Homo-oligomer: A and B are copies of this chain.
């Protein structure tokens, strides 16, 4: 049991997600300062759509690790902001295909720049090698629990 050796107390930062909470808040603040009026939750949905436009809501649930009602409401709000649009699928009429609008697309570059800046603030003093390992760990955790 290799994982039983490290001390309980030290593991706290893993469990509570202090670090990721901190990043999310900083990102929120930086968006606001840049005059971009979206929440980090909305950003996380847009992020996936920028990568792969045309996902359905269930895909977004899986990608963002959120439940269906949350995605329904996030998409509601993004639609109100005219950043995405629901299109009924012709193959399967149960599904909504979520498409980025022109306005949504225009936010991409600026948002990504802010995200990168935020990340650089957060990761100051961390080497690329350490980041690689941390990413692997987080990915494994995610895979183990999903």
User: How many copies of this chain sit in the oligomeric assembly?
Assistant: 2
Q: Which of A108-139 contact B (CB under 8 A)?
A: 112, 115-116, 118-128, 130-139
Q: Return the contact of A123 from the options B27, B128, B144 (Cβ within 8 A).
A: B144
Assess whether A135 is in contact with B13, with CB atoms less than 8 Å apart. Answer: yes
How large, as a class, is the contact surface on chain A? Answer: 35 or more
Q: Are A65 and B21 also in contact (CB < 8 A) when A125-B144, A144-B122 are?
A: yes
Measured CB to CB, the closest approach of chain B to A24, in angstroms, equals 6
A38 within 8 A of B: no
Q: Is the interface of A mostly helix, strand, loop or mixed?
A: helix
Given contacts A15-B118, A19-B137, A134-B134, 4 further A-B contacts (CB under 8 A): A6-B131, A9-B51, A14-B119, A123-B141
Assess whether A115 is in contact with B51, with CB atoms less than 8 Å apart. Answer: no
Assess whether B22 is in contact with A142, with CB atoms less than 8 Å apart. Answer: yes
Docked complex Cα distance between A16 and B45 (Å): 10
Docked complex Cα distance between A105 and B75 (Å): 44
